[in-house]
């Protein structure tokens, strides 16, 4: 009897210890312990799935493995294997992070889930500019999720498809994102978050991921709102990839995967799985394998067609892009730029060069805007127009245009420059920067809370409709609503993508086989 009583006392003592330590909480897998920082509880490196190593390489994420004792979640976990060797990387990379201002489970705060960018080839939750602390202090639970990138995240191969129950391969990185969202649905209440009010947000490849999750039936019901910063994926498939035209069918991607495997010297799937993970930390010349594909399962079809038919997750969206995205993708001299345009756009090149003229050297902003819109602007515009036509949820669109009117250069807001404003980390190098940071943080949090960015103390942001097509100009010189930038030029791109989609339709009818997209 004495032994039983002693055992019970020990159990009660341990239970009391856990209940008296607010930084220790139980999640799927076991107990974790985070850190406190000025009103926040922070948890870094929480596993949401089993390590995708060994036989789990190139398989859908599996349930998280339980652990004994208390797992300290105070440091970021390794980033996925990738070409950015400045990061601490590992194939064992499926972890997420949480910043919460909640005082108890009963708070049920809105939840914002960050998906990093990096062209699906690099990326990390540990980048300082996406630390979620300052954004969380605005009254939301912030999470950032990791996913496999590069060839470990998106390799398609006939043998991989053959072993899969759905007969598909690739898109493992997207399946990681979906698994993380399921974990958040099931566990975020423990952190004081509301699992019924989740907003996904991301930039570049992260924004494209948001777009794809909005189109994937596997992600249905996992989020209520979506924010895409320089994202969208509304172009048809194409054999040769360009910024904004990266999508391939399963058949195309499997052929690329075979070539990639041979480049590695692997003649079989067994050979591929036996390679050390360090092999995948450097880029290769083989095309394909490092981008999501239209597989008929995770991504059922060409997203443009899905939205035309109303086959998507109809949630509130806040979408936009930056004023000088093209600066990151345009050749430095005008002659090379014009040659690249003619090679990429074919018979449409002349129309597009008229719509986005190049009248000086180096390439002026009017020329760079063609790459801005082909990569991001048109996708955002098409997304907004399609959802405004076939959906019932709110649509809000923005144009980020922070610039210095006194600068000699005509460079505007380049790719990724808005991220620091969203996470409240930017300084005040230009007049109006602090106000712009406040506005963007408030808009994003308001939207995550209600599906509408508007509130007292902010310039009014009208919803985007096909009748008015108003966007919010987010600028350090006074945010305001206005028309879609370069709307007439965008119509020329609309014609180009429609032509590409028609060509894909004709090829499909001729071959009488389903290639996964048009």
Residues noted as catalytic? 204, 325
User: How far lies 87's CA from each of 44, 45, 81, 90, 123, in Å?
Assistant: 16, 15, 9, 10, 9
- Select from 281, 199, 215, 202 the least CA-distant residue to 247: 215
C-alpha neighbours within 13 Å on the C-beta side of residue 497? 26
3-state secondary structure 167-224: CCCCCHHHHHHHHHHHHHHHHHHHHCEEEEEEEEEEECHHHHHHHHHHHCHHHCCCCC
Backbone φ and ψ for 89, nearest 5 degrees, come out as -120, 155
E strand or H helix at 353: helix 349-355
Pairwise CA distance, residues 380 & 392, whole Å = 18
Q: What's the burial of 148, exposed, middle or buried (CB within 10 Å: 0-12/13-18/19+)?
A: buried
Pairwise CA distance, residues 170 & 242, whole Å = 19
Q: What's the burial of 277, exposed, middle or buried (CB within 10 Å: 0-12/13-18/19+)?
A: middle
C-alpha neighbours within 13 Å on the C-beta side of residue 299? 35
């Amino acid at each position: 009897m004495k032994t039983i009583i002693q055992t019970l006392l020990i159990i009660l003592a341990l239970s009391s210890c856990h209940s008296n330590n607010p930084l220790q909480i139980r999640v799927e897998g076991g107990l974790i312990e985070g850190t406190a920082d000025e009103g926040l509880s922070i948890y870094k490196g929480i596993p949401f799935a089993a390590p995708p190593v060994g036989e789990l390489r190139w398989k859908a994420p599996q349930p998280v493995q339980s652990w004994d004792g208390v797992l300290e979640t105070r440091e970021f976990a390794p980033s996925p294997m990738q070409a950015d060797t400045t990061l601490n990387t590992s194939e064992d990379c499926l972890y997420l992070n949480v910043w919460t201002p909640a005082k108890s489970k009963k708070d049920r705060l809105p939840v914002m889930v960050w998906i990093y960018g990096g062209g699906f080839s690099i990326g990390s939750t540990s980048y300082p500019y996406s630390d979620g602390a300052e954004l969380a202090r605005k009254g939301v639970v912030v999470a950032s999720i990791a996913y496999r990138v590069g060839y470990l995240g998106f390799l398609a191969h006939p043998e991989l498809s053959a072993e899969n129950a759905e007969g598909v391969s690739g898109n493992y990185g997207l399946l990681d994102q979906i698994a993380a969202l399921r974990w958040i649905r099931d566990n975020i209440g423990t952190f004081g978050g509301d699992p019924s009010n989740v907003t996904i947000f991301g930039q570049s490849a992260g924004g494209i991921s948001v777009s794809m999750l909005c189109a994937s039936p596997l992600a249905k019901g996992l989020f209520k709102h979506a924010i895409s910063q320089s994202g969208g994926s509304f172009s048809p498939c194409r054999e040769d990839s360009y910024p904004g035209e990266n999508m391939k069918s399963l058949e195309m991607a499997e052929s690329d995967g075979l070539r990639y495997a041979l480049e590695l010297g692997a003649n079989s799937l067994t050979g591929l799985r036996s390679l050390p993970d360090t092999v995948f930390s450097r880029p290769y010349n083989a095309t394909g394998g490092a981008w999501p594909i239209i597989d008929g399962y995770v991504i059922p079809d060409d997203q443009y067609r899905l939205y035309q038919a109303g086959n998507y997750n109809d949630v509130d969206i806040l979408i936009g892009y930056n004023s000088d995205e093209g600066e990151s993708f345009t050749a430095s001299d005008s002659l090379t730029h014009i040659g690249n345009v003619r090679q990429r756009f074919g018979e449409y090149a002349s129309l597009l060069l008229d719509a986005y003229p190049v009248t000086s050297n180096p390439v002026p902003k009017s020329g760079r805007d063609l790459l801005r819109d082909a990569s991001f602007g048109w996708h955002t515009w098409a997304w907004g127009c399609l959802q405004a036509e076939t959906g019932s949820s709110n649509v809000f669109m923005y144009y980020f245009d922070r610039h210095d009117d006194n600068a000699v250069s005509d460079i505007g807001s380049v790719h990724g420059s808005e991220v620091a404003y969203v996470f409240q980390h930017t300084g005040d190098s230009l007049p109006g920067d602090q106000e712009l940071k406040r506005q963007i943080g408030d808009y994003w949090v308001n939207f995550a809370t209600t599906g509408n960015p508007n509130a007292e103390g902010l310039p009014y942001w009208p919803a985007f409709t096909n009748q008015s097509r108003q966007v919010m100009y987010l600028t350090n010189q006074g945010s305001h609503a206005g028309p879609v930038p370069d709307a007439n030029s965008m119509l020329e791109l609309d014609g180009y993508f429609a032509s590409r989609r028609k060509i894909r339709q004709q090829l499909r009818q001729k071959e009488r086989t389903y290639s996964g997209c048009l």
